[in-house]
Structure 1
Amino acid sequence: MALTTTSSDGRVDLADHSSIADSRFYNAELAPVPVAQRNWTTYNYFALWMGMAHNIPSYLLASGLIALGMDWVQAFMTITLGNIIVLIPMLLNSHAGTRYGIPFPVFARAFYGVRGANLAALLRAFIACGWFGIQTWVGGQAIYVIIGKLAGDGWMNASVVAGQPITLWISFAVFWILQMLIIWRGMDAVRKFENWTAPLVTVGFLIMLVYVLVKAGGFGPILSQPSKLGWGSDFWTVFAPSLMGMIAFWATLSLNMPDFTRFGGSQRKQFWGQILGLPTTMSFIAIVAILTTSGGAVLFGDVIWDPAALASRFSSPVVVVVALVALVLATISANLAANVVSPSYDFSNAFPKKVTFAVGGLITGIIGVVIMPWRLLADADVYINGWLGFYGGVLGAVAGVLISGYWLRARTVIAVEDLYREGGRYWFSGGWNIPALVATVVGAVLAVGGAHSASGNPFPKDGLIPFLKELYNYSWVVGLVAASLVYLLLNARTSRESAPASRPVTEGEAVV
């Protein structure tokens, strides 16, 4: 007999893990967090989002739109709208984490199957590895520029290895090691680092903005920079895929927020922490990036979308060093929270008895280097329309299955013990839920099958599958909607597979 209790605010607690502790699908880090240990506050989630949003790749979102030809109004509108849209699935998936205390890969077991969840988890994990590499590369660039301003031309003009100065490779390695040292200390070290850096991470961006404003002569010259696209067909052609890119930027977190909300003190705390955190912090970094990039165009005559490259053009070494030190802290904070926590759990989910949280973080770090992130950042079009647009469509399909499964099929009710059991309610067909897999494949193919690029890089101009080309401009929406509909259709004649034999009960009642 297992005892499941429900607190007054709806959070479910599995008090006794003895019946599942010996399962090969269980380990201490994947286990449901006891209600007594779910103590994250509204500020913890706000600080988490401030730490995740205020980083160089977030800056590159806005500056990249300027590089693609938008003016400041168009870029700000695109980013703000994208973040409001992605907040919806993020909150929908966050609910399960807070209610049951389970991380994303365990949550996914309820709909993909105990084994099938590895597909959803590893898709998310490998994309996170790519992001880890990107963040580490831009952080290494910042360290490279900082030392260059202090050490002089010898550092900046060192001998070239594999297309980059050897000192840049050294900076990249140092930044990688710093992050591994923090993640090796576990999840609590990540939370403390987030809380400490959150109030400080805005400093670097503000210093750069103020410097540019002073040098450019105020807001006037910056805000008067015209759009190269206008408001006609040229703009709307760029807007649709760019909006999908903005949504895709946080599509990863829209899946794995249960990794963080499992520690939530209540649904209300995680809900308001995210409502106050994501839109406000992303809007702030967007306007700072837009103004700074536009100001750089006024000063230097070029649109320099990389903040480290822009800072290297500043004449004041003090401004460069102080700004980029703050940006390094910001990037570490964002990388740990957004791109190490999730894949650490995901890899642990694939091999629960062999891979711990720390080992999962190390795997993430290694794959992040192998992906060669410097190539993804070589061009704004590749970064936004290639990298973001493609993986956004794939993850949109996964989100479609989870949201429709949890809210429409299971009606938010999950049998927690069976998430860790072989042969239980979520075993389906040998551990795989075929309808969920089919829905994900169909949604992903429709979303990204038509992947194309005007330059022919990295995708053909006519699309991978030409007749799906137009759908790629709306990749995330197509993936989410198509997967949801297919999943619900395939399950239309079956009973609710996720509903346990009896409801989660009030404290003191027993579930057999």
Structure 2
Amino acid sequence: MAIAEQSTQITQPDGRVDLPDHAGIANSRYYNPELAPVPVEKRTWTTYNYFALWMGMAHNIPSYTLAASLIAFGMDWIQAFMTITLGNLIVLIPMLLNSHAGTKYGIPFPVFARAFYGVRGANLAALLRGFIACGWFGIQTWVGGQALYVIVGTLAGDGWTNSAVVLGQHWTLWLCFGLFWIIQMLIIWRGMDAIRRFENWTAPLVSVGFLILLGYVLVKAGGLGPILSAPSKLGWGADFWKVFAPSLMAMIAFWATLSLNMPDFTRFGGSQRKQIRGQILGLPTTMSFIAIVAILTTSGGQVLYGEAIWDPALLAARFDNPAVIIVALVALVLATVSCNLAANVVSPSYDFSNAFPKRITFAMGGLITGVIGIAVMPWRLISDPSIYIFAWLGFYGGVLAAVAGVLVGGYWLVVRTHLDVKDLYRDGGGRYWFNGGWNLRAVVATLVGAVLAVGGAYGGPFPADGLIPLLKPLYDYNWLVGVVAAFATYLALSLPSRDDVPVRLQEGEARA
């Protein structure tokens, strides 16, 4: 193996880069073992690991409610399925583009963001992502607690489900919410290996609950005929297209968080091919599966009960067969734990750790996530499909799209996938220190993209005319606007500069 003079990183034959010696950065305040680049020999995740990860993340109650909510808005099953499938295919593009850096360099998302926002400025991108994940953690924990509440109520009877109301909810529901929260904290405290093992064994099981719900509804509704023949309340004219655009943006926004922080998982990838193939096999297929199950189940419930019940726990509570309720919801509880740990705890754990690497460990970051997840009052976010889709998903999707635009443009077109790993952890100086640790070009690009994307937010908690009336027409296309605007702005500000030229082999990169 030929080592270049003063080499700091080694490029393997498959393109992955290793940093064998951490001595020069281990004492940096921007370094800790969880944020450190993963050695090549420990990057062992296979195609199945990524497929299982996506199955665990996609097959959960909020994924179900996402699809079911479109039926509640008046779409028929074809319109809803088309909207969801298209959204997932679109979001897969930035997801794979950002995943590349994780596998190549073994670094998590907040460290990857340092290359473009600066060693300190990366906290802007990381904490934006982290706080959104806290909201999602709270939502997942609430709906999982609801499912647990229905399960126990089926066994314990009316005394459980009709218990005294405290702060607007039955105290037994609060109890289930708290218990569900504690179980997840115990798992995350054991670290990433515990999460990977949990994903692997639950992935094949999480579909069972949804299939039981669907099977029961199909039998009671008299088969697929009554469900598939239900007409769209929107038709295919102007009423549909008015709902389609913001709904599509919401479908993309559902995984916009993961499109940023997939390096948190792909840093363990055995090769680029394995992570790419695992994600292509995982995301579109699993989300399409859960979408069609949710759509058919909700449509069947509409036939049976005369209303679109978009929460599967509440739908199951209508069933008259206790065994079906218990088996289905136990599987859904497992599915929700699996998704919540992977999608909504791993990222903020790294993100909060990145803010104070020497003080906050991965496990402590997970605990912070759990506390903030309660503070955001998730029972309000999930209470109404219009707030859930157009306010919550739409708004944060547009903001995170701006971050995605900066990362994709910076990594693929400005530095052309070349990073100096050691400088990503350097305490002062280095190519990623920029101005006091901040790259103002990335900050400006993010602000431009975010303002254009969500400045016109309307509906729900926002003014009817939009926060900025002039930008209201753009809000229906918030994710697309955010990505394109931030991407173009960052390129315009960065390309004339010499600061971001690619790291060349002679600057310290050796080949194995």
TM (normalized to structure 1)? Answer: 0.98
Query: 1:442-491 CA deviation, whole Å, 9 max, x = no partner?
Result: 100000000011xxx21111111111001000000000000011111112
Q: Which residue of 2 aligns with 1:462?
A: 465
**What runs of 5+ residues in structure 2 fail to find an aligned partner?**
1-5
Shift of 1:493: 1.6
> Is 1:215 matched with 2:220?
yes
Contact 2:133–2:348 (CA<8 Å) still a contact in 1?
Answer: yes
Name the amino acid aligned to 1:425.
Answer: R
Deviation of 1:415 after TM superposition, in Å, equals 0.5
In structure 2, what is the Cα distance between the partners aligned to 1:458 and 1:122?
23
Counterpart of 2:3?
none
Distance, in Å, in 2 between the alignment partners of 1:69 and 1:161 is: 34
Match 1:361 to one of 361, 366, 371? 366
Q: Is the 8 A contact 1:410 1:496 kept in 2?
A: no
- Cα deviations across residues 99-119 of structure 1 (Å, max 9, x unaligned)? 000000000000000000000
Q: What is the rounded CA distance, in whole Å, between the counterparts of 1:506 and 1:42 in structure 2?
A: 28
Out of 188, 194, 214, the position equivalent to 2:199 is 194
Instruction: Please list, as runs of the form range in 1=range in 2, the aligned pairs for 1:123-272 lying within 5 A after superposition.
Output: 123-272=128-277
Letter of the aligned partner of 1:433 in structure 2?
Answer: N
- Structure 2 counterpart of 1:443, from 438, 449, 459: 449
Shift of 1:498: 5.5
Partner Cα separation in structure 2 for residue 53 and residue 351 of structure 1 = 31
Aligned counterparts, 1:317-336, within 5 A: 317-336=322-341
Letter in 2 for 1:127: I
Tell me which residue corresponds to 1:479: 482
Distance 2:80 2:89 in 1: 14
Counterpart of 1:493?
496
Secondary structure of the residue aligned to 1:469 is helix
State the shift of 1:506 in Å. Answer: 4.5
Q: Tell me whether 1:73 sits opposite 2:78 in the alignment.
A: yes
Structure 1 position 54 matched with structure 2 position 59: yes
Counterpart-to-counterpart distance in 2, 1:72 and 1:420 = 49
Alpha-carbon distance in structure 2 between the residues aligned to 1:275 and 1:496: 35
- Equivalent-residue separation in structure 1 for 2:337 and 2:94 (angstroms): 26
Task: Provide the rounded CA distance (Å) in 2 between the counterparts of 1:312 and 1:496.
Answer: 60
500 and 507 in structure 1: CA distance in 2 versus 1, 3 angstrom threshold: closer
SS at match of 1:470: helix
Counterpart in 2 of 1:398?
403
Q: So what's the TM-score if we normalise by structure 2?
A: 0.98
Residues 404-448 of structure 1, C-alpha deviations (whole Å, 9 max, x = no match): 000000000000000001211100000000000000001000000
User: Partners in 1 of 2:48 and 2:54 — Cα distance?
Assistant: 10
CA contact (8 A) 1:2 1:16 kept: no
> Where does structure 1 lack aligned partners over 5 or more consecutive residues?
none
C-alpha separation in 2, matches of 1:169 and 1:201: 24
Alignment check: 8 A CA contact 2:414 2:495 kept? no
The superposition leaves residues 341-400 of structure 1 with CA deviations (integer Å, 9 ceiling, x where unpaired) of 000000000000000000000000000000000001111010011100000000000000
Post-superposition offset of 1:88: 0.2
- The runs of 4+ residues in structure 1 deviating greater than 3 Å are 501-508
Q: Secondary structure at the match of 1:399?
A: helix
Question: 1:368, 1:17 → 2: CA distance?
Answer: 35
Task: Quote the Cα distance in structure 2 between the aligned partners of 1:353 and 1:21.
Answer: 11
Cα deviation, 1:34-87, whole Å, max 9, x if unaligned, reads 000000000000000000000000001110000011000000000000000000
* Stretch of structure 1 that moved more, 479-488 or 491-500: 491-500
1:425 aligns to what?
431
Note if contact 1:70-1:229 (Cα within 8 Å) is conserved in structure 2: yes
CA contact (8 A) 1:139 1:172 kept: yes
Work out which of the residue numbers 111, 116, 122 in structure 1 matches 2:121: 116
Question: For the Cα contact (< 8 Å) 2:72–2:308, is it kept in 1?
Answer: yes
Superposition RMSD in Å: 0.9
Name the CA distance, whole Å, in 1 between partners of 2:469 and 2:9: 52
Q: Secondary structure at the match of 2:505?
A: coil
Equivalent in the alignment of 1:64: 69
Deviations 1:294-324 (A, max 9, x none): 0000111111000000000000000000000
Cα distance in 2 for residues equivalent to 1:43 and 1:496: 40
Deviation at 1:6, TM superposition (A): 1.1
- The alignment partner of 1:363 has SS state of helix
Matches within 5 A, 1:10-89: 10-89=15-94
One-letter code of the match for 1:182? I
Contact 1:97 1:103 in 2 (8 A): yes
Percent sequence identity over aligned pairs: 75
Provide the secondary structure at the position in 2 that maps to 1:5: strand
Alpha-carbon distance between aligned partners in 2 of 1:315 and 1:2, rounded to the nearest angstrom: 69
For 1:237 and 1:409, locate their aligned partners in 2 and report how far apart those are by CA, in whole Å. Answer: 37
Q: Distance between the aligned counterparts of 1:493 and 1:180, measured in 2?
A: 47
- Indicate yes or no: 2:309 matched with 1:304: yes
